[in-house]
Structure 1
């Protein structure tokens, strides 16, 4: 189910997601030797892993979506009132991010809301 949000509501929800990603990187770096570099530029966060691979997460304001690009592919997410769900019905954002970050880092990494 897609909920209707104003632009300000979308930006607030999207900002919480990006902040959670950054905070998860800090926690992961403090508690493991994964060394995930996270770089924030406006509405975009780039995660860079030791092997040079990246995951890019960015806001798509006109569509009220979050997009994620990883080695496994590109994904679009919409907020359903509780969490960010893939527009193709394949799961939740933090599940996908955990899966892709684990694959790209070679370590079991868990990202949470």
Structure 2
């Protein structure tokens, strides 16, 4: 994947995450800046999702830990266990929001 394709894919993914947050009933604020999406929860905790251009990965920092995702088989896959980004992010966001939040790609 070219650097331009990677950037476009990440921008699209971050936009999809924002849309899912907006569609939820959860009290979550978000801000995007230079390839970094920061989710802030009512309890003060945060989830940070950012692009890593050199390795062509998306990194997620959540209360439960740090995770790396690479584009593989038409989805962002966790480099450790192969789990899909939106399914995993739904769990992380739900845990920190204290209520179910569905994340769809």
Task: Classify the TM-score, shorter chain.
Answer: over 0.9
Once the two structures are TM-superposed, the CA of residue 81 in structure 1 deviates from its matched residue by 3.9
**Matching residue within 41, 44, 49 for 1:52:** 44
Query: Which position in structure 2 is the counterpart of 1:20?
Result: 16
Q: Cα RMSD over matched residues?
A: 0.9
TM (normalized to structure 1)?
0.89
1:31-73 residue CA offsets vs partner (Å, 9 max, x unmatched): x2x1110111110000011100000000001110000000000
CA distance in 1 between counterparts of 2:73 and 2:15 reads 18
Please give the residue correspondences for 1:1-113 in structure 2 after superposition, counting only pairs within 5 Å: 5-28=1-24, 32=25, 34-113=26-105
CA distance in 1 between counterparts of 2:84 and 2:57 reads 13
Once the two structures are TM-superposed, the CA of residue 99 in structure 1 deviates from its matched residue by 0.2
Gaps of 5+ in 1: none
Q: Report which of the two has the higher share of strand.
A: 2
TM (normalized to structure 2)?
0.96
Whichever of the two has the greater Rg, that structure is 1
Structure 1 ranges of 4+ moved more than 2 A: none
CA distance in 1 between counterparts of 2:95 and 2:11 reads 25
CA distance in 2 between counterparts of 1:53 and 1:64 reads 26
